[in-house]
Structure 1
């Protein structure tokens, strides 16, 4: 995988910004949103990368947590 996927720190209002490469994919409020963003970016079987740190970098908070900061 050459494209970096970053799930940024939770926002004050809740949700986490997701970037795929240099593009903002959207604001995820849960893993289902994140999977949809990955599918839209062309990543098949998008549930598999959620547990693989080589695919996704979780910044500023625990993985799979989307609550307000």
Structure 2
């Protein structure tokens, strides 16, 4: 499962996609994990998001979500 977390939006949050299918706008790591769980990734809560080779953080470092 190839996951992309896009650059932070101007108002905060990052779009999360799997295989170019949008899952939602994440405002935290917990949101990313929930989107992945809903997409069918077993044990999503066990992922180390910043270190996973299956997650590409685009436009900003891992764990940064912009203004809330």
TM-score, normalization: structure 2?
A: 0.87
- How far off is 1:8 after superposition? 0.3
1:8 to 3, 6, 9: 6
- How far off is 1:16 after superposition? 0.2
Equivalent in the alignment of 1:61: 60
Count of matched residue positions in the alignment of Structure 1 and Structure 2: 66
Query: Contact between 1:4 and 1:56, CA under 8 Å: does it hold in 2?
Result: yes
**Unaligned regions of 5+ residues in structure 1, if any?**
none
**Unaligned regions of 5+ residues in structure 2, if any?**
none
1:8 & 1:51 partners in 2: Cα distance?
Answer: 14
Instruction: Work out whether 1:30 is the aligned partner of 2:28.
Output: yes
RMSD: 1.3
- How far off is 1:6 after superposition? 0.1
